[in-house]
Structure 1
Amino acid sequence: MAVTPGATPPAPLTADAVRAAVETGQARLHALLPDLTDAAVRAPSALPGWSRAHVLAHIEGIGLAMARQARRALRGELIDLYDGGFPARTAAIEAGAGRDAAALRAAVAGALSEASAAWAAVGPDDWSRPVRYRDGVLRDALLAWWRELTLHTTDALLGPGPQQWPRELCHHLLDYLAPRAPEGVQLVLAPVDDAKAARPYGPADAPVVTVRGPLTALAAWLAGRTPHAHLECDGCDGPLPELRPWP
């Protein structure tokens, strides 16, 4: 299969289109909550060391945190993502994961409702308002919530797996996660179902390593999740190359 590095990927979604995708993801997760039992929330998730309850507590926390970024930005205020920083986030997840299914269902549903209301209040001229989250703007915070919501719903082993991730999200992940590309090579991700969307990362004069597979599987691998389909690698001496940390 011919690889066309440098081909123009689809244009980024508008903020309103991302907001609509977020609403779809929130509604999907909300519809899954009533079936969660105490046994189900204690079951392992796809993330090592985390139960499904841990992932749900994290979705609750990041949903509220991003909603707070939106609420404060509309008032012209900047606020940290989490009061107390990362240690407080970790403690809140551990404490939240200890709740029973009924409490978790109610907490996650409440966070989804607050997120929906907060993002609905953002007008077309507000997306460039600054936020404290990574010293970005409101559109960056919305994209972060889209990533967190979609990937962690999958991590909780609820609803769609990576093979059902929206193609638009996959294209976004291939862009956002470019800093994960390994050092010392030119990594080319070549979707077999979208040849024009091949992505090159790294210096042009470095040895080329080409990883081929479905777009959704490439996005899952780059995001640190188990690909749902086989990925082929040209230029690898063994397994797929080791990725760098999340940006």
Structure 2
Amino acid sequence: MDIYRLPVLNDNYLFVLHDRPTNQVAVVDPAVAEPVLAKLNELNANLVAIFNTHHHYDHIGANRTLKQKFPDLVIYGGELDQGRIPGQQVFLKDGDRVQFGSETAEVFFVPGHTRAHIAYYFPESGNLFCGDTLFAGGCGRLFEGTPAQMMHSLARLRQLPEATRVWCAHEYTLNNLQFAVTVDRNNKALMQRLSAAKEARAKGEATIPTTIGIEKQTNPFLRWDQPALQEAAKIQDPVRVFARIRGKKDLF
């Protein structure tokens, strides 16, 4: 499975998945149709699926246009997003599996950013499409969920193999890491990552994908059980540590 990361809007990424043996394409969180159509034309491939992680406009904005151009494509999303994702035909719950080409994605229910958020994990190739749940160096704001829900969701993702590539939907890395050093000041791996991110962004390079292993070392929202973060939050209860750090990020 080839993965193409396409920048759209201000700081979004959408992802085009290409199964070469069948020449079929799926797209994850298509905010804008034009780049998808251009990539399909370049590949001379057929769009068969849209994998939506949640209902926010910058993840579903192209659904209707793509469905009009490819009437046979299937639009997937979480079951609790029924009525909120344009054209949704398949309503996924935790533990469901979705076939694309020669690979099968596992569906994780990961509420917190929204009440219906899901992620797609392809274990064979080690790719995770997590929308706005886990970011490089951060996590999504809690618009519809609770700190406990988001912490539980991130705990599930944290358990994936460290080599898992994390394809998150925004280029927020630099800002996230600049915040992270305010609550995890003595983390040498974090400081090195921040320096590398500054250099990459100065060159206009993307910082996505990241990996679960990198996030476990440097992302404060996967480190609520580490003494440095407990000290920064001035508490030890994991949910309260997470909530305190998330609150600090909201004001950063």
Instruction: Give the TM-score normalised by the residue count of structure 1.
Output: 0.28
Structure of higher CA gyration radius: 1
| Bigger relative CO (Cα 8 Å, ≥ 6 apart) | 1
Per the normalisation by structure 2, the TM-score is 0.28
Structure (1 or 2) with the greater strand fraction: 2
